[in-house]
Amino acid sequence: AAYAKGRPGEDSAWVEQHPASSCETRVYDDYQEMLEKESLEVVGVCLPFFQNPEASIAAARRGIHVLSEKPAATDLSDLARLEHQVRQSGIQYSIMLNMRTLPIFRAARQAVQQGAIGEPILISSQKSYKYGAKRPWFYRERKTYGGTIPWVGIHALDYMEWVSGQKYTHVAAYEGNKAHSQSPGCEDHAGLLLRLANGGTATCHLDLLRPEAAPTHGDDRLRIAGSEGVLEVWGIEERVRLLGPRGKSGDLPLPPAVDFFTAFVAELRGESQPLVSSVEAFDITRTCLKARDAADTGTWVAL
Protein backbone atom coordinates (compact mmCIF):
# COMPACT_ATOMS: atom_id res chain seq x y z
CA ALA A 1 0.00 0.00 0.00
CA ALA A 2 1.02 3.59 -0.53
CA TYR A 3 0.12 7.07 0.70
CA ALA A 4 0.49 10.34 -1.17
CA LYS A 5 0.59 13.62 0.72
CA GLY A 6 -1.99 16.31 0.05
CA ARG A 7 0.89 18.76 -0.41
CA PRO A 8 4.68 18.22 -0.41
CA GLY A 9 5.40 19.57 3.09
CA GLU A 10 2.62 17.65 4.84
CA ASP A 11 3.55 15.85 8.08
CA SER A 12 2.66 12.23 7.35
CA ALA A 13 4.09 10.69 10.52
CA TRP A 14 0.55 9.53 11.46
CA VAL A 15 0.53 7.22 8.42
CA GLU A 16 3.19 4.98 9.97
CA GLN A 17 1.08 4.66 13.11
CA HIS A 18 -2.04 3.66 11.18
CA PRO A 19 -3.15 0.01 11.62
CA ALA A 20 -3.27 -0.44 7.82
CA SER A 21 0.37 0.66 7.54
CA SER A 22 3.28 -1.78 7.31
CA CYS A 23 7.03 -1.58 6.67
CA GLU A 24 6.18 -1.89 2.98
CA THR A 25 3.94 1.18 2.96
CA ARG A 26 5.50 3.87 0.73
CA VAL A 27 4.84 7.57 1.26
CA TYR A 28 4.95 9.96 -1.72
CA ASP A 29 4.99 13.74 -1.86
CA ASP A 30 2.61 13.76 -4.81
CA TYR A 31 -0.22 11.51 -5.98
CA GLN A 32 0.87 11.63 -9.65
CA GLU A 33 4.20 10.12 -8.70
CA MET A 34 2.48 7.47 -6.59
CA LEU A 35 0.14 6.50 -9.42
CA GLU A 36 3.12 6.19 -11.81
CA LYS A 37 5.33 4.11 -9.53
CA GLU A 38 2.78 1.91 -7.74
CA SER A 39 0.51 -0.75 -9.10
CA LEU A 40 -2.72 -0.01 -7.20
CA GLU A 41 -6.15 -1.65 -7.39
CA VAL A 42 -8.08 0.96 -5.42
CA VAL A 43 -7.44 4.44 -4.02
CA GLY A 44 -9.13 6.54 -1.38
CA VAL A 45 -9.20 10.19 -2.46
CA CYS A 46 -9.27 12.87 0.23
CA LEU A 47 -7.49 16.06 -0.82
CA PRO A 48 -8.54 19.66 -0.33
CA PHE A 49 -12.03 19.22 -1.79
CA PHE A 50 -11.56 21.10 -5.07
CA GLN A 51 -8.67 18.72 -5.98
CA ASN A 52 -10.65 15.49 -5.50
CA PRO A 53 -12.14 15.20 -9.02
CA GLU A 54 -8.75 15.69 -10.74
CA ALA A 55 -7.13 13.01 -8.57
CA SER A 56 -10.09 10.67 -9.16
CA ILE A 57 -9.78 11.22 -12.92
CA ALA A 58 -6.05 10.47 -12.78
CA ALA A 59 -6.76 7.18 -10.96
CA ALA A 60 -9.64 6.26 -13.26
CA ARG A 61 -7.43 6.80 -16.32
CA ARG A 62 -5.17 4.07 -14.94
CA GLY A 63 -8.12 1.75 -14.28
CA ILE A 64 -7.88 2.14 -10.51
CA HIS A 65 -11.15 1.99 -8.51
CA VAL A 66 -11.90 5.13 -6.47
CA LEU A 67 -13.54 5.79 -3.15
CA SER A 68 -13.61 9.60 -2.82
CA GLU A 69 -14.60 12.06 -0.15
CA LYS A 70 -17.87 13.76 -0.99
CA PRO A 71 -18.83 15.77 -2.94
CA ALA A 72 -17.58 14.03 -6.10
CA ALA A 73 -16.65 17.50 -7.43
CA THR A 74 -17.06 21.13 -6.39
CA ASP A 75 -18.27 22.38 -9.76
CA LEU A 76 -20.42 21.02 -12.55
CA SER A 77 -17.74 21.00 -15.25
CA ASP A 78 -15.33 18.94 -13.11
CA LEU A 79 -18.23 16.64 -12.30
CA ALA A 80 -19.00 16.12 -16.00
CA ARG A 81 -15.34 15.32 -16.79
CA LEU A 82 -15.17 12.90 -13.87
CA GLU A 83 -18.39 11.13 -14.87
CA HIS A 84 -17.12 10.75 -18.42
CA GLN A 85 -13.78 9.31 -17.27
CA VAL A 86 -15.39 6.88 -14.81
CA ARG A 87 -17.74 5.58 -17.55
CA GLN A 88 -14.87 5.31 -20.06
CA SER A 89 -12.59 3.49 -17.62
CA GLY A 90 -15.27 1.13 -16.34
CA ILE A 91 -13.90 1.48 -12.79
CA GLN A 92 -16.02 1.34 -9.67
CA TYR A 93 -16.43 4.75 -8.07
CA SER A 94 -18.13 5.79 -4.86
CA ILE A 95 -18.22 8.65 -2.35
CA MET A 96 -18.22 8.68 1.44
CA LEU A 97 -21.92 8.99 2.17
CA ASN A 98 -21.20 7.14 5.38
CA MET A 99 -24.51 8.03 7.03
CA ARG A 100 -26.01 5.18 5.00
CA THR A 101 -24.06 2.81 7.23
CA LEU A 102 -25.79 4.00 10.42
CA PRO A 103 -28.35 1.70 12.04
CA ILE A 104 -30.85 4.58 12.46
CA PHE A 105 -31.04 5.36 8.74
CA ARG A 106 -30.99 1.69 7.74
CA ALA A 107 -33.91 0.95 10.09
CA ALA A 108 -35.83 3.97 8.78
CA ARG A 109 -35.30 2.98 5.14
CA GLN A 110 -36.47 -0.55 5.79
CA ALA A 111 -39.61 0.68 7.59
CA VAL A 112 -40.53 2.95 4.65
CA GLN A 113 -39.91 0.13 2.18
CA GLN A 114 -42.20 -2.09 4.24
CA GLY A 115 -44.97 0.52 3.98
CA ALA A 116 -44.94 1.59 7.63
CA ILE A 117 -45.94 5.19 6.80
CA GLY A 118 -47.69 4.68 3.44
CA GLU A 119 -46.51 7.05 0.71
CA PRO A 120 -43.89 9.62 1.83
CA ILE A 121 -45.30 13.13 1.36
CA LEU A 122 -43.42 15.66 3.50
CA ILE A 123 -39.75 15.11 4.31
CA SER A 124 -37.66 17.36 6.51
CA SER A 125 -34.16 17.14 7.85
CA GLN A 126 -31.53 18.90 9.90
CA LYS A 127 -27.74 18.92 9.81
CA SER A 128 -26.18 20.90 12.62
CA TYR A 129 -22.44 20.79 13.30
CA LYS A 130 -19.93 22.66 15.40
CA TYR A 131 -17.80 24.99 13.34
CA GLY A 132 -14.73 23.68 15.12
CA ALA A 133 -11.46 25.43 15.84
CA LYS A 134 -9.45 23.45 13.30
CA ARG A 135 -11.08 23.95 9.92
CA PRO A 136 -8.22 23.69 7.37
CA TRP A 137 -7.34 26.61 5.07
CA PHE A 138 -9.36 25.38 2.12
CA TYR A 139 -12.69 25.83 3.98
CA ARG A 140 -12.24 29.58 3.74
CA GLU A 141 -13.09 30.10 0.07
CA ARG A 142 -15.85 28.79 -2.18
CA LYS A 143 -13.25 27.90 -4.84
CA THR A 144 -11.37 25.46 -2.59
CA TYR A 145 -14.14 24.35 -0.21
CA GLY A 146 -17.12 24.12 -2.55
CA GLY A 147 -19.70 25.30 -0.05
CA THR A 148 -21.64 23.99 2.91
CA ILE A 149 -24.53 22.59 0.84
CA PRO A 150 -22.17 20.26 -1.12
CA TRP A 151 -20.05 19.40 1.92
CA VAL A 152 -22.56 19.11 4.78
CA GLY A 153 -25.94 19.22 3.06
CA ILE A 154 -25.07 16.32 0.78
CA HIS A 155 -25.58 13.90 3.70
CA ALA A 156 -29.09 15.18 4.40
CA LEU A 157 -30.08 15.38 0.74
CA ASP A 158 -28.84 11.84 0.34
CA TYR A 159 -30.53 10.28 3.36
CA MET A 160 -33.83 12.07 2.65
CA GLU A 161 -33.89 10.38 -0.79
CA TRP A 162 -32.37 7.08 0.30
CA VAL A 163 -34.69 6.54 3.26
CA SER A 164 -37.87 7.82 1.57
CA GLY A 165 -37.29 6.34 -1.89
CA GLN A 166 -38.48 9.66 -3.38
CA LYS A 167 -36.61 11.76 -5.97
CA TYR A 168 -36.26 15.54 -6.15
CA THR A 169 -37.32 17.51 -9.22
CA HIS A 170 -36.66 21.17 -8.25
CA VAL A 171 -34.78 23.07 -5.56
CA ALA A 172 -34.82 26.55 -4.01
CA ALA A 173 -32.18 27.51 -1.47
CA TYR A 174 -30.75 30.31 0.62
CA GLU A 175 -27.55 30.47 2.63
CA GLY A 176 -25.06 32.80 4.22
CA ASN A 177 -22.25 33.35 6.64
CA LYS A 178 -22.98 35.41 9.73
CA ALA A 179 -21.01 33.94 12.62
CA HIS A 180 -17.70 32.98 10.94
CA SER A 181 -16.81 35.91 8.73
CA GLN A 182 -13.15 34.80 8.51
CA SER A 183 -14.40 31.98 6.23
CA PRO A 184 -16.73 33.63 3.71
CA GLY A 185 -16.78 30.54 1.50
CA CYS A 186 -17.95 28.37 4.37
CA GLU A 187 -21.62 29.26 4.80
CA ASP A 188 -22.69 28.76 8.41
CA HIS A 189 -26.40 28.42 7.65
CA ALA A 190 -28.52 27.27 4.73
CA GLY A 191 -32.12 26.35 4.00
CA LEU A 192 -33.36 24.19 1.12
CA LEU A 193 -36.84 23.61 -0.26
CA LEU A 194 -37.36 20.75 -2.72
CA ARG A 195 -40.21 19.38 -4.75
CA LEU A 196 -40.54 15.61 -4.92
CA ALA A 197 -41.36 13.70 -8.10
CA ASN A 198 -44.55 12.34 -6.48
CA GLY A 199 -45.84 15.86 -5.74
CA GLY A 200 -44.58 15.90 -2.16
CA THR A 201 -42.32 18.47 -0.48
CA ALA A 202 -38.97 18.36 1.29
CA THR A 203 -37.20 20.94 3.45
CA CYS A 204 -33.73 20.86 4.91
CA HIS A 205 -31.77 23.21 7.11
CA LEU A 206 -28.03 23.16 7.76
CA ASP A 207 -25.80 25.00 10.12
CA LEU A 208 -22.30 25.20 11.56
CA LEU A 209 -23.67 27.04 14.60
CA ARG A 210 -23.75 24.25 17.17
CA PRO A 211 -22.03 25.55 20.32
CA GLU A 212 -18.49 24.23 20.78
CA ALA A 213 -19.39 23.02 24.26
CA ALA A 214 -22.30 20.87 23.03
CA PRO A 215 -22.03 17.18 23.99
CA THR A 216 -21.82 15.91 20.37
CA HIS A 217 -20.33 17.35 17.17
CA GLY A 218 -23.56 16.94 15.18
CA ASP A 219 -27.30 16.90 15.65
CA ASP A 220 -28.86 15.04 12.70
CA ARG A 221 -32.60 14.68 12.30
CA LEU A 222 -34.94 13.31 9.68
CA ARG A 223 -38.72 13.28 9.64
CA ILE A 224 -41.00 11.79 7.00
CA ALA A 225 -44.76 12.36 7.15
CA GLY A 226 -46.53 9.86 4.93
CA SER A 227 -50.10 9.10 3.92
CA GLU A 228 -50.36 6.57 6.80
CA GLY A 229 -47.92 7.67 9.48
CA VAL A 230 -44.89 9.63 10.58
CA LEU A 231 -41.34 8.41 11.03
CA GLU A 232 -38.59 10.31 12.84
CA VAL A 233 -34.87 9.69 13.10
CA TRP A 234 -32.93 11.25 15.97
CA GLY A 235 -29.19 11.12 15.49
CA ILE A 236 -27.97 12.01 18.97
CA GLU A 237 -30.37 9.66 20.71
CA GLU A 238 -29.87 6.94 18.05
CA ARG A 239 -33.61 6.46 17.89
CA VAL A 240 -36.10 5.87 15.10
CA ARG A 241 -39.63 6.57 16.19
CA LEU A 242 -42.68 5.47 14.21
CA LEU A 243 -46.11 7.00 14.70
CA GLY A 244 -48.28 4.56 12.83
CA PRO A 245 -51.83 4.75 11.52
CA ARG A 246 -53.73 3.00 14.32
CA GLY A 247 -51.89 4.56 17.22
CA LYS A 248 -49.24 1.88 16.76
CA SER A 249 -46.16 3.79 17.70
CA GLY A 250 -42.79 3.30 19.24
CA ASP A 251 -39.10 2.92 18.59
CA LEU A 252 -37.94 0.63 15.79
CA PRO A 253 -35.32 -2.04 16.48
CA LEU A 254 -31.97 -1.11 14.92
CA PRO A 255 -29.97 -3.39 12.62
CA PRO A 256 -26.17 -3.64 13.00
CA ALA A 257 -23.98 -0.93 11.45
CA VAL A 258 -22.18 -1.58 8.18
CA ASP A 259 -18.50 -0.69 7.63
CA PHE A 260 -18.22 1.61 4.65
CA PHE A 261 -14.77 0.46 3.49
CA THR A 262 -15.58 -3.23 3.90
CA ALA A 263 -18.74 -2.69 1.86
CA PHE A 264 -16.76 -0.98 -0.93
CA VAL A 265 -14.25 -3.83 -1.07
CA ALA A 266 -17.12 -6.37 -1.17
CA GLU A 267 -18.53 -4.39 -4.11
CA LEU A 268 -15.14 -4.51 -5.89
CA ARG A 269 -15.03 -8.28 -5.37
CA GLY A 270 -18.51 -8.62 -6.84
CA GLU A 271 -19.81 -9.96 -3.54
CA SER A 272 -22.46 -7.29 -3.00
CA GLN A 273 -24.35 -4.42 -4.58
CA PRO A 274 -22.81 -0.95 -4.12
CA LEU A 275 -23.74 0.85 -0.92
CA VAL A 276 -23.46 4.12 -2.92
CA SER A 277 -23.33 3.52 -6.68
CA SER A 278 -21.39 5.81 -9.00
CA VAL A 279 -24.68 6.99 -10.54
CA GLU A 280 -25.97 7.91 -7.08
CA ALA A 281 -22.67 9.62 -6.22
CA PHE A 282 -22.83 11.80 -9.33
CA ASP A 283 -26.59 12.50 -9.04
CA ILE A 284 -26.46 13.67 -5.43
CA THR A 285 -23.37 15.79 -6.09
CA ARG A 286 -25.15 17.40 -9.07
CA THR A 287 -28.20 18.05 -6.88
CA CYS A 288 -26.00 19.81 -4.31
CA LEU A 289 -24.19 21.93 -6.88
CA LYS A 290 -27.54 22.94 -8.43
CA ALA A 291 -28.89 23.75 -4.97
CA ARG A 292 -25.84 25.98 -4.49
CA ASP A 293 -26.73 27.63 -7.83
CA ALA A 294 -30.31 28.06 -6.59
CA ALA A 295 -28.98 29.88 -3.52
CA ASP A 296 -26.55 31.99 -5.61
CA THR A 297 -29.20 33.05 -8.13
CA GLY A 298 -32.29 33.25 -5.90
CA THR A 299 -34.29 31.09 -8.30
CA TRP A 300 -35.88 27.64 -8.37
CA VAL A 301 -33.59 25.26 -10.27
CA ALA A 302 -34.71 22.08 -12.07
CA LEU A 303 -32.84 18.92 -11.10
289 binds a second copy (CB under 8 A): no
DSSP string, 228-243: S-EEEEETTTTEEEEE
Q: How far is the CB of 161 from a second copy (least distance, A)?
A: 15
Q: Are strands 120-130 and 93-95 parallel, antiparallel or unpaired?
A: unpaired
203 binds a second copy (CB under 8 A): yes
Among 87, 130, 210, 241, binds a second copy (CB under 8 A): 210
Distance between CA 197 and CA 182 in Å, rounded? 39
Binding residues for a second copy, total number by CB under 8 A: 55
Distance between CA 249 and CA 126 in Å, rounded? 22
Q: How far is the CB of 256 from a second copy (least distance, A)?
A: 30
DSSP string, 48-102: SGGGHHHHHHHHHHTT-EEEEPSSS-SSHHHHHHHHHHHHHHT--EEE--GGGGS
Contact pattern for a second copy over residues 172 through 191, marking x by CB under 8 A? xxxxx-xx--------xxxx
157 binds a second copy (CB under 8 A): no
Length of the chain: 303
Residue 30 · residue 6 · CB < 8 Å:
no
For the chain, where are the E strands, in sequence order? 2-4, 26-28, 42-45, 65-68, 93-95, 120-130, 168-176, 189-196, 201-210, 221-226, 230-234, 239-243, 249-251, 301-302
226 binds a second copy (CB under 8 A): yes
Among 201, 236, 259, 279, binds a second copy (CB under 8 A): 201
Which range in 11-19, 26-34, 133-141, 226-234 contacts a second copy by CB under 8 A? 226-234
For a second copy, the closer CB: 71 or 200:
200
For a second copy, the closer CB: 31 or 168:
168
Contact pattern for a second copy over residues 247 through 276, marking x by CB under 8 A? xxx---------------------------
Q: Contact residues for a second copy (CB under 8 A)?
A: 118-119, 121-122, 124, 126, 128, 170, 172-176, 178-179, 188-195, 198-205, 207, 209-214, 223, 225-230, 243-249, 298-300
